[in-house]
Amino acid sequence: MLKLPQPVTISPISPISPTSAAAAAGEIPAARVQMADIARLAGVSVSTVSRALSDSPLVNAETRQRIGDLAKSLHYTINIGAQNLRLKQNRTVSVVVPYDPKTRQHLSDPFFLSLIGSLADTLTERGYEMLLSRVDADRLDLAANGFHTGRATGVVLIGQWHQHDQLNAMAVRGVPFVVWGAQMPHQVYATVGGDNVGGGRLATRHLLAQGATKVVFMGDPDLPEIGQRRQGYRLAHEEAGIALQPQRQRQVPFVAEAIEVAVQQLLAEGVDFDAVFAASDLMAMTVISSLRKAGRSVPEDCLVVGYDDIALAAQSHPPLSTVSQPIDVAGRALIDELLSQVSGARATSHQLPTELVPRQSSQRG
C-alpha cells in the first residue's frame, strides 16, 4: 500500500494532494510500446505480429497465442492513427454543435445534450468513435473540417441555424453529413428531425381543445425547426377557424433572461392570452416560473405546452405537457443515415414522428 502525504489546505482549485504516477512507478513515461517491440520479444517479424493481432489464419496458432499474450501483458494496442493511414479507413464520426457567435452561449440545452448522449451510445454500439466539437454558427462550413482533415468518416451537425446555403455547398462538395433539424425547400443535404409542423399543430390543437382561445407562441422562428413549429401553430388555428394575432406570436431567443422579459412585456402590453405554446421545454418552464412571479398560476390562469419532453418535464410542477421527440431513435437515425451515405447511398432525409404528451400544465382542473 502506498502511503501518501495527506493534504490540509483547501483553497479554490489549489493542489491539495500532490502525487505523481511517474514517481510512484519510479520510471520515466516509457516510450509507447509498438509492434516492433513485440516482434523482437517474440522473436518474429513485424508482419507476423500484425497478422497474429488481426487473427489472420495465415499464422501458426501457437505463435498467434504467444504474440497475443505478449501484447496483452505489455498493454499493447495497435496505433490507430498509423493503422488508419495505412488502411485509408476510419471509424470515427465528427459531431458538431454550432454556437451562436453573438451570445457565445455554452452548450447547455438539455435536449441537445441528451441527443449527444444518444449519439455517443449509438456510435459506441456500432464500434465507432465520436469526435465532439463546437463551431461558430456563422461558419457552419467549418463543420466539414473533421472530414477534410481525414479524422472522420462523416459529420453529424446538431442544428442547422440559418446557414442553409453553406450546408448545400458542403453537400455538393461531397462531404458525407447529416443535420439534425428541419427539412427545407431546395435542400441537397440530408436532415433527420422531428415532424415540427405536426408537433406544433398537435400542441396547439390540444390547447384549443382544452378551451384556450388566445394562445401565445413563443420562440425564434428564424431557426428552421422553430419556424415550422410556429407553422403548425398557425395551421391549428386555421383548422379551428380562429384568427391569428400578431401580438401573440413572440420572437424570443433561447436565453432565460430574454424569456422572462418577454413574459413581462406580454403582461405589460396587456396582451390578452390564456395559453402559451413554448418552443422548448426549457422555455416553457421559464415561462411558467415567470408567470408565477407575476401572480399568474399554471394551469389555472394559463395553460402551457412545451416541446422536447426532456427528462425533467415529468417531474416539474405542474408536470409539463409537451411534444416528445424520440431521442434514442434520433441518435440511431442520424448515425444510420450518415453511415449509409458513407457506403455510397444517396443523402436521404428522415422525419421522425412526434407525439403529444399531455400532462397537468395544459389541463384545467
Partner DNA sequence: GTGAAAGCGCTAACAT
Partner DNA sequence: ATGTTAGCGCTTTCAC
The contact set with DNA (CB under 7 A) reads 32, 34-36, 43-48, 50-51, 53-54, 58-60, 63, 78-79, 82-83, 85-88, 150
Kindly state whether residue 294 participates in binding a second copy, applying the rule CB under 8 A. no
Q: For 55, which DSSP code? A: T
Residue with the three cell numbers 416560473: 289
- Touching a second copy, residues 196-255 (CB under 8 A): none
Query: In 10 A of CB 30, how many CB atoms?
Result: 8
Least distance between DNA and beta carbon 169 (Å): 22
And the C-alpha cell for 14?
A: 489549489
Least distance between DNA and beta carbon 32 (Å): 7
Binding at 186: pick from a second copy, DNA, none (beta carbon under 5-8 Å per type): a second copy
Nearer Cβ to DNA, position 29 or 365?
A: 29
Least distance between DNA and beta carbon 288 (Å): 53
Query: In 10 A of CB 365, how many CB atoms?
Result: 5
- Touching a second copy, residues 331-360 (CB under 8 A): 333, 346-353
* CA nearest to 253, candidates 278, 275, 288: 278
Least distance between DNA and beta carbon 71 (Å): 10
Interaction mask 255-274, a second copy, x per CB under 8 A: -x------------------
For 234-237, which contacts have Cβ atoms below 8 Å and span 24 or more sequence positions? 235/197, 235/200, 235/201, 235/204, 236/200, 236/201, 236/204, 236/205, 236/208, 237/204, 237/208
Q: According to CB under 8 A, which one of 50, 163, 166, 316 is a site residue for a second copy? A: 316
Kindly state whether residue 309 participates in binding a second copy, applying the rule CB under 8 A. no
Residue 359 · residue 322 · CB < 8 Å: yes
Q: According to CB under 8 A, which one of 55, 57, 62, 149 is a site residue for a second copy? A: 149
Stretch near a second copy under the rule CB under 8 A, chosen from 25-33, 54-62, 210-218, 230-238: 25-33
- Touching a second copy, residues 85-144 (CB under 8 A): 85, 92, 95, 97, 106-108, 110, 113-114, 116-118, 120-121, 124, 129-134, 144
d(CA 145, CA 175): 10
Least distance between a second copy and beta carbon 191 (Å): 8
Instruction: Tell me the site size for a second copy, rule CB under 8 A.
Output: 100
Alpha carbon 280 to its chain centroid, in Å, reads 15
d(CA 349, CA 355): 20
Residue 284 · residue 276 · CB < 8 Å: yes
d(CA 280, CA 273): 19
Least distance between a second copy and beta carbon 206 (Å): 20
Query: In 10 A of CB 158, how many CB atoms?
Result: 24
Binding at 174: pick from DNA, a second copy, none (beta carbon under 5-8 Å per type): a second copy
Residue with the three cell numbers 413563443: 218
Kindly state whether residue 363 participates in binding a second copy, applying the rule CB under 8 A. no
Residue with the three cell numbers 390564456: 274
Kindly state whether residue 10 participates in binding a second copy, applying the rule CB under 8 A. yes
Nearer Cβ to a second copy, position 129 or 274?
A: 129
Nearer Cβ to DNA, position 3 or 88?
A: 88
User: Alpha-carbon torsion 328, 333, 334, 335, what sign?
Assistant: positive
And the C-alpha cell for 164?
A: 442553409
Kindly state whether residue 22 participates in binding a second copy, applying the rule CB under 8 A. yes
